[in-house]
Amino acid sequence: MTTVLSGLRQETISSLDRLSPNQQLLPLTAITNQRDRLEIGGCDVVELVEQYGSPLYILDEVSLRTACQQYRDALKQHYQGTSQVLYASKAWSCLAVCAIVGSEGLGIDVVSAGEILTALRAGVSSSLIYFHGNNKSVEELSYALESSCTVVVDNWHELKTLDRLAQEQTSKPRIMLRLTPGIECHTHEYIQTGHIDSKFGFDPNEIEAVFAFLAASSLNCIGIHAHIGSQIFELQPHQDIGGVMVQWFQLAGEKYGLQFSELNIGGGLGIRYVESDDPPSIEDWIKAVVAGVTEAFIGAGLPLPKLLCEPGRSLVGSTCVTAYTIGGSKTVPDIRTYITVDGGMSDNPRPITYQSQYRAVVANHMSAALSQTVTIAGKHCESGDILIKDIQLPTTNPGDILVVFGTGAYNYSMASNYNRLPKPAAVLVEGGASSLIIKRETREDLLRQDCLPERLCS
The better pLDDT of the pair 93, 183 is held by: 93
> How many angstroms separate the CA atoms of 80 and 284, rounded?
16
Catalytic one of 94, 149, 381, 451: 381
Mean pLDDT, all residues of the chain = 92
What's the pTM value of the predicted model, to 2 decimals? 0.94
pLDDT for 151 equals 97
The better pLDDT of the pair 42, 229 is held by: 42
pLDDT of residue 458 exceeding 80, the answer is no
Backbone angles phi, psi at 374, to 5 degrees: -135, 165
133-167 b/e (C-beta count within 10 Å ≥ 16 → b): beebeeebbbbbbeeebbbbbbbeebbebbbebbe
Query: In the annotation, is 381 catalytic?
Result: yes
pLDDT, tens only, 162-174: 999 988 887 889 9
pLDDT of residue 182 exceeding 80, the answer is no
Beta strand ranges found along 91-193 (DSSP E)? 107-110, 129-131, 150-153, 174-178
Least confident of 66-70, 233-237, 399-403, 449-453: 233-237
The residue among 397, 384, 255, 395 whose CA lies nearest residue 325 is 397
Q: In the Cβ-directed half-sphere of 270, how many Cα atoms lie within 13 Å?
A: 21
For the chain, what percent of residues have pLDDT higher than 70?
A: 93
Domains of the chain, earliest start first: 2-60+318-446 (2.40.37.10), 132-310 (3.20.20.10)
> How many angstroms separate the CA atoms of 128 and 98, rounded?
12
pLDDT of residue 183 exceeding 70, the answer is no
pLDDT, tens only, 74-94: 999 999 999 999 999 999 999
Least confident of 43-47, 191-195, 256-260, 312-316: 191-195
Is the peptide bond preceding residue 349 cis, with omega within 30 degrees of 0? no
pLDDT for 392 equals 96
Mean predicted confidence (pLDDT) in 99-123 = 98
pLDDT for 434 equals 98
